[in-house]
Homo-oligomer: A and B are copies of this chain.
Amino acid sequence: MAESGEIDPGVAGEDPGYLAAVIDLLGVISYGEVTAFERLAEDAKLAPTMQDKMALATMAATELGKVAPLHQRIVELGGDPYEAMAPFGRAIDEFHRHTAPADWPEGLVKAFVGDGLADDFYREIAAFLDPVTRDLVVTSMDEDGGHAVFVVDRVRAVIAADPKVGGRLALWGRRLMGEALTQAQRVAADRDSLTALLTGGVDRPGLDLAALGRMFTRLTERHAARMAELGLDS
A216 interface hit (Cβ, 8 Å): no
Taking CB atoms and an 8 Å cut-off, the chain A residues in 205-223 that contact chain B are none
Which among A38, A45, A53 has the greatest number of chain B C-beta atoms within 10 A?
A38
* Set B34, B38, B57: member contacting A64, Cβ < 8 A: B57
Contact yes or no, A53 B34, CB < 8 A: yes
* Set B41, B44, B82: member contacting A51, Cβ < 8 A: B82
A179: chain B residues within 8 A (beta carbon): none
* Set B34, B44, B67: member contacting A38, Cβ < 8 A: B44
A58: chain B residues within 8 A (beta carbon): 64
The contact size tier of chain A is 20 to 34
A85 interface hit (Cβ, 8 Å): yes
A38: chain B residues within 8 A (beta carbon): 41, 44-45, 57
Q: Taking CB as reference atom, which chain B residue is nearest A85?
A: B50
Taking CB atoms and an 8 Å cut-off, the chain A residues in 106-139 that contact chain B are none
Contact with B along A45-69 (1 / 0, CB 8 A): 1000111011001101100110100
A65: chain B residues within 8 A (beta carbon): 61
A37 interface hit (Cβ, 8 Å): yes
* Set B49, B50, B64, B82: member contacting A50, Cβ < 8 A: B82
Give bound CA distance, A53 to B86, whole Å: 13
A51: chain B residues within 8 A (beta carbon): 82
Q: Taking CB as reference atom, which chain B residue is nearest A83?
A: B50
A233 interface hit (Cβ, 8 Å): no
Give bound CA distance, A112 to B31, whole Å: 26
A8 interface hit (Cβ, 8 Å): no
Q: Taking CB as reference atom, which chain B residue is nearest A89?
A: B50
* Given A41-B41, A41-B42, A34 contacting B60 (CB threshold 8 A): no
Q: Taking CB as reference atom, which chain B residue is nearest A64?
A: B61
Give bound CA distance, A53 to B50, whole Å: 25
Interface on A for B, CB 8 Å cutoff?
A: 34, 37-38, 41-42, 44-45, 49-51, 53-54, 57-58, 60-61, 64-65, 67, 82, 85-86
Given contacts A34-B50, A51-B82, 9 further A-B contacts (CB under 8 A): A37-B57, A38-B57, A41-B42, A41-B60, A42-B42, A50-B86, A58-B64, A60-B61, A61-B64
